[in-house]
Structure 1
Amino acid sequence: MSFPITRHRRLRGTAGIRGMVRETILNTLDFIQPIFVTYGTGVKNEIGSMPGVYHFSLDMLKAEVDEIAALGIPAVLLFGIPETKDAIGSSGFADDGIVQEATRLIKQWYPELLVVADTCLCEFTDHGHCGMVHTHTVDGVVHGDVINDASLELLTRTAVSQAKAGADIIAPSNMMDGFVQAIRTGLDENGFEHVPIMSYSVKYASAFYGPFREAADSAPQFGNRKTYQMDPANLREAIREADSDVLEGADMLMVKPALAYLDVIRTIRDQFDLPLVAYNVSGEYSMVKAAALQGWIDEQAVVLEMLTGMKRAGADIIITYFAKDAARWLQG
């Protein structure tokens, strides 16, 4: 018998010993902070379902970026809410689009702060889907099919416009087949072969995105996204999706959401050697915030444990709305 010769508690007796043998270390450099930028002036509006997260107009953005940079968070992820929307999401690839303008400002203020541009059309289309759609009406109800190949051209235009504005990393989240190859080709042909692609490789059709729909004003006007985002029940499919993106030239892979998909993160980590990103999504954030506001949990302890779990599962990078708070807590 191992006991009493072996006593596992010997390595748990003091904070110093626990720290010395700790296997997973959470660090501020692991984080990316999402930001929602919008049109208008003087806008800093809290998102109702996401306490502590705001919409910022460009004139109100600098204070937020100042805080992120001061905390040592290395990167931001930009989402844009445009003034106008149309069927093809043209505001998404306009040179004066909201994401492009925000990118230019941030790179002017903080050249070393990494700007990650979310590359999708859902925030910019009037129908709320991530690509072009073909619609038809049956008994007064609008139905639509997302057109994969035609959408790739628009997504590529969006990525190129973001790179021209100064985005350091392109993060396509649309889940169209072939999107990495199309965007990689477009970037390379326009002189941006040095710009990496952080692919939303494994993105599930998840109920955890609910608050984001409010934040990004991107709820589908008809149907849902289950024909192009993954079934939450599937794991082997995640390997196929990631493998396709690797072959097409992705530089980083992502699993989204994170909390209910730690097994997927571990599987992708074990199968591929590219840097792996976990997206701690809006619903995961809002659940913790709601419980903390009720006094039911210790927010700091729960958040740091949750983020550590994502890193322990295999994530190298974590996109999280808790990035600023977590950075403060880690720095004491």
Structure 2
Amino acid sequence: GADIVAPSDMMDGRIGAIREALEEDGFIHTNILAYSAKYASNYYGPFRDAVGSAANLGTSSKETYQMDSANSDEAIREVGLDIDEGADMVMIKPGLPYLDIVYRIKQTFGMPTFAYHVSGEYAMLKAAAQNGWINERPVVLETLLSFKRAGADGILTYYAKQAAKWLK
């Protein structure tokens, strides 16, 4: 069994359906991490390229079901809905360009709030470090600290293993 279930789509009613199914089957201690504020972002590019989904999108986009980057109030509404449906914690994705959202969610709801440091954010830092434009370790640690300062209780990052070594 899983300790946490984290559906990454934003389909309306998904969290409620999962919560109901978990409880009906006796999994009352399984937490739900809702990807409540998932923005239609260009920062997902490296991941989409790696899994081949960028080609599948063609000229279409995910803007029909992911949030508009200009709309910060929608995040508050979406998180509230997921909490009402039974979410135990929420995810903001991507994290770095939406630190204001991380802060607002944490201040508004006071519940466990996570930020996803996505592939494009990681790739930018890696490329800058490889080209000698930044000193990777302090810049990455500063970036991760910014998530915490904004209110994130946890960070999902491609830098997890490296950051753990640096912080050891």
Higher RCO (C-alpha under 8 Å, 6+ residues apart): 2
SS in 2 for 1:253: strand
Residue 277 of structure 1 aligns with which residue?
114
Aligned equivalents of 2:156, 2:132: Cα separation in 1 = 25
Q: How far apart in 1 are the matches of 2:14 and 2:5? A: 12
| Residues 241-297 of structure 1: per-residue CA shift (max 9 Å, x gap) | 000001000000111111111111111011012100000000000000011111111
Question: Is residue 330 from structure 1 mapped to residue 167 from structure 2 by the alignment?
Answer: yes
- CA–CA separation in structure 1 for the residues paired with 2:99 and 2:152: 9
How many percent of aligned residue pairs carry the same amino acid? 59
Letter of the aligned partner of 1:259 in structure 2? L
Structure with the larger helix share? 2
TM-score by length of 2: 0.94
2:102 aligns to what? 265
Q: Which residue of 2 aligns with 1:253?
A: 90
Show structure 1 runs of 5+ residues with no match.
1-165
> Partners in 1 of 2:80 and 2:64 — Cα distance?
20
- Whether the aligned pair in 1 keeps the contact of 2:35 and 2:92 (CA below 8 Å) is yes
Computed over aligned residues only, the root mean square deviation of the Cα atoms, in angstroms, reads 1.2
CA–CA distance in 2 between the matches of 1:322 and 1:173? 20
- What is the Cα deviation at residue 215 of structure 1? 3.2
Corresponding residue for residue 66 of structure 2: 229
Quick check: which has more Rg, 1 or 2? Answer: 1
Picking from 13, 24, 32, the partner of 1:197 is: 32
Q: Distance between the aligned counterparts of 2:78 and 2:35, measured in 1?
A: 10
Give TM-score scaled by structure 1 length.
0.49
Per-residue CA deviation, residues 40-59 of structure 1 (Å, 9 max, x unaligned), is xxxxxxxxxxxxxxxxxxxx
Partner of 1:299: 136
SS in 1 for 2:114: strand
Structure 1 moving runs of 4+ over 6 Å: none
C-alpha displacement of 1:227: 1.1
CA positional deviation for 1:217:
3.5
Contact 2:3–2:29 (8 Å) recurs in 1: no
Report what 2:18 is aligned to. 183
Q: Give 1:1-332 correspondences, 5 Å limit.
A: 166-219=1-54, 220-222=56-58, 223-331=60-168
Distance 1:285 1:191 in 2: 39
Higher strand residue share? 1
* 1:200 aligned counterpart, secondary structure: strand
Q: Which runs of 5+ in 2 are unaligned?
A: none
